[in-house]
Chain A
Amino acid sequence: MNTIIFRTIAPLIVAIMLVFSVYVCLRGHNEPGGGFIGGLIAASAIAILGTAIGPAAARRALHIDPMNIAGFGVFMAAFSGLLSLFTGSPFMTSIWLYLNLGDTTVPLSTPMVFDIGVFLVVFGTIAAIALGLEGDGGERS
């Protein structure tokens, strides 16, 4: 499995997959995609990285423990729901903000923040499980 070809190409694949996962996550509101799928793609990327360069090195590349990422994701999703308190509406009422940047309009919204939270949870949890199974038992060595 750990051939030189795989090890050489893996970082490239991982980079493309990570960028693609963010793209999938962000387009989700209007096209097929979303935080869940994006998170799965990103987690697969980390699983590939772990197989190629070893789980310890993959963890170092991540900088943050994947379970912490997952925890932050839950927090972010819940927090996005709390924002509606400032408009006096019930929990998780969506708020939309259209930013005009030159020619284009960038829609920002609390559902988007929520979806990014979902992305982080799925990404963090699956990556943690994959790296844990790949050999280091879930701990930084």
Chain B
Amino acid sequence: MGLGMDASIALVAIAPFVAALLAPLAQRLTKPFAGWVLAAVPLAIFAFLLTLVEPVIANGAVSASIGWVPAYDLNLSFFVDGLSLTFALTISGIGALIVLYSGAYLKGHPHLGRFLGFLLAFMGAMLGLVLADNMLALFMFWELTSVTSFLLIGFDHTRQASRRGAIQALVITNIGGMGLLVGALLVHHLTGTWELSALGDEVRGSGLYGLVLFAFLCAAFTKSAQVPFHFWLPNAMEAPTPVSAFLHSATMVQGGVYLLARTTPWLGGTEAWTLILVCFGGATLLWGALGALRQTDLKQMLAQTTIASLGLSVLLIGLGTEAAIAAMALYFVAHALYKAGLFMVVGAIDHEAGTRDITVLGGLADKMPVTFIGAALASLAMIGLPLTLGYFAKEEMYLGLLAWTWSDIVVLVVLVAGNAMLAGVAMLVMVKPFLGPVLPTPKSPHEAPLAMLAGPILLGVCSIVFSVLTEDLGKYLLVPAASAILDHPVTSHLTLAINPASPLLWLSIATWGLGLLVYRQAATLRTLLRRAEAALGWTADNLFDVVMFGLIRFSAGVTRLLHHGRLEIYLVTVFGALALALTLPMLLLGGYDVLLPTAELGNWSDVLSWPDLRIYEWGVVLLALVGLGSVLLAPNRLVAIMALGIQGTAVALIFLLFGAPDLAFTQFMVEILSVVILALVMTRLRLDERDHRPLEDLARDGTLALVCGVGVSLLLMVVLTGTLDKRLSDLFTATSVPIAHGANIVNVILVDYRGFDTLGEIAVVMGAGMAIMALLRRRKKATS
């Protein structure tokens, strides 16, 4: 291999980002074929990941690491085991089909290139997330998925609903992201490592276990839309359909499931873990399934079933038995395949027929036969009929719960009910739009283009092929993934043979039977559920709005309080704070004590003498005093400004006399420019010639000025009584000429020793200049 293994694995996560940058350009160059061309990137990643299958099965894992911040011992490390490989292969494989599909779905859209770029960047973030070993890298990719999904969901940004969906997804998943960061920091604190693969039993045994668990569950539940954070997922359906097909089948929402599976070996297995995951997962499963039956919009129905499926996965991870984990691994792949397929089918229906409402669609099978085949393949897998991957997933789920204890029976009932409702929804999606009488639609329907058909058909076929190659399915998918989650080797016992004596078969038949019942009674159920929802009259979605608007009102209030627009108050606040900062700590901590005369000095008024100054030095002091007096006595503003300049010049002269020519030089220029600019500002603001202020204002401002001035003077005197730490200035004096080639130490510090500071400062100078320009231009517009 030309590239090192480390770099190649890192490239899996990085290449999509590079491709994302180039996507708009590629789209412009290859107009109608943009989807086909860009799909090559995920396809290549998929092919590369396939070559890792054998080594992963042979060794259990392949890891890679490249230096990230060596100074802090941080590595950008990746870890490919059965679990991450299963996820990565699914993500890249479905990603390729989605990119292809998007090219056709958004054909002719002015921002297709941008869209494909977002999509590829999102895929890169997702691949990084499932491959990362370093927890900080994991966090980074986790947040990148939030940000890129925000861009994708809000792609149609002119619509208010899609902006709301995007913001909601970002806010909710970012809350979880913060949880993940806290969790990662806690785990690092407890174990001293950033690598997920290096973690053992330390966390479970520590006193902080509860907190760590809370942080990680917070992350997983928000990302994977568990009740009560489920509401962002349906609202994210405002995105173009390819986004939903990708985000809500194999990627974004599965991030939380992945995190739970990944943390199982060192965080899972405790009673709290099982209880929380099973309860929340079960609740989410039922809530999502009921929600799906309530909808008539095909896309919303699928969104709700996604919530249900996520709940199911979380429940299975919570159970944590060998069978449950195996079922979860199978279910992840099965769900990704059929859900992506179904979303693409719904997108095709929407694209070709002009509506997604299940009540007005019918008889499309004649017009769109290939789409119908795709829908049927996916739906059959969702129902879980034999010869599909969904069948095995369902069998494995039930297998772990045949101990007939009370808790097992409750979970089993929840699972059967949830699966039955999902099966009912699947039948609705398959039958209602395609079979039965032909109903009129907004557009006259016809078959979708090849790029849009490839996805559903290919995914449906995959589902069947995998299930027929039962042994390979066990060897290449179930065993590596489940072993990675459980951290010990498991064996596959998948078989296509149907055993009538096994309760599994009867549970499956019960599921299908109930599903059929749900399908037959769909309309009645929908009415009932809608009535129940109306009676409740309150959802978590509303609560989100209440909280968000509350936040906005709160920040508006705080802004009004602090940013009132009255310059006078700003200045009083700033200088009041300065006065307090200068004097309060010194007074409280006794900093001024060093200035008091010591006992040996005797009566201090005897030893007091005039300072020994030369005549020209007296001249400078006199100049400063004249300046100061003129400021106070100035008859109008202009004179006051000029007088302030005199006072400043006197200070500059003092600098010059006491050996700071650079400082003096700068001070002169600053004084001159201040006078010029202040005078100019004054004329522009058309202020009164004089400044009339009531007496209390004068008293307030005068006190502030005095306290600030005296505070600075006293501070300087205190500083001068101590011994200065001269190590730095000695170093600069000693090294300025030999290593920095400059005799002017001030300048050498500015441009060489502290050059980076100066770079920041000049950027600030320019930023301030631009802000002033903006203000001036606004004034001009307002006056003209």
Q: Name A's B-contacting residues (CB within 8 A).
A: 24, 28-37, 40-41, 43-44, 47, 67, 70-71, 73-74, 77-78, 81, 91-92, 94, 96, 107, 109, 111-112, 114-115, 117-118, 121-122, 124-126, 128-130, 132-134, 137-139
Contact = CB atoms under 8 A, between A and B. Distances in A.
B769 interface: yes
A33 B780 contact: no
Contacts of A30: 742-744
Contacts of B743: 29-31
B746 interface: yes
Contacts of B772: 128-129, 132
Contact of A137 (B677, B756, B758, B779): B779
Across the A-B interface, give the 6 residue pairs with the lowest CB-CB distance, nearest first: A137-B780, A125-B769, A40-B669, A133-B680, A29-B742, A32-B661
> What does DSSP make chain B's interface, helix, strand, loop or mixed?
helix
Contact of A133 (B661, B662, B765, B776): B776
Interface stretch (B236-244, B265-273, B435-443, B747-755): B747-755
Contacts of A33: 662, 665, 744, 747
A32 B665 contact: yes
A112 to B, nearest CB: 8
Contacts of B769: 67, 70, 124-126, 128-129
Given A29-B742, A81-B755, A118-B751, A125 B765 contact: yes
Interface string B274-301: 0000000000000000000000000000
B507 interface: no
Interface in B662-682: 662, 665-666, 669-670, 672-673, 676-677, 680-681
Contacts of B510: none
Nearest to B682: A133
Contacts of B208: none
16 contacts: A28-B747, A28-B751, A29-B742, A29-B744, A33-B662, A33-B665, A40-B673, A70-B769, A73-B762, A78-B759, A94-B740, A114-B755, A121-B765, A124-B769, A130-B676, A133-B677
Nearest to A133: B680
Contacts, number: 143
Contact of A77 (B662, B677, B759): B759
A38 B777 CA distance: 28
Nearest to A21: B669
A78 to B, nearest CB: 6
Interface string B766-778: 1011101100110
Contacts of B727: none
B566 interface: no
A93 to B, nearest CB: 9
Nearest to A43: B673
Interface in B394-409: none
Given A29-B744, A91-B756, A130-B680, 4 more contacts: A70-B765, A81-B755, A114-B758, A132-B776
A125 B765 CA distance: 7
A37 B665 contact: yes
A85 B684 CA distance: 47
A117 B750 CA distance: 12
Contacts of B661: 32
A90 B256 CA distance: 40
B756 to A, nearest CB: 6
Interface in B685-727: none
Nearest to A129: B772
B763 interface: yes
Given A81-B759, A137-B776, A44 B673 contact: yes
Given A30-B743, A31-B743, A94-B740, A118 B762 contact: yes
Contacts of B758: 77, 114, 118
A34 B684 contact: no
B741 interface: yes
A70 B763 CA distance: 9
A74 B777 CA distance: 23
Contacts of B776: 132-133, 137-138
A105 B196 CA distance: 60
A134 B683 CA distance: 9
A35 B766 contact: no
Contacts of B755: 81, 92, 111, 114
Contact of B744 (A31, A70, A114): A31
Contact of B741 (A81, A96, A129, A130): A96
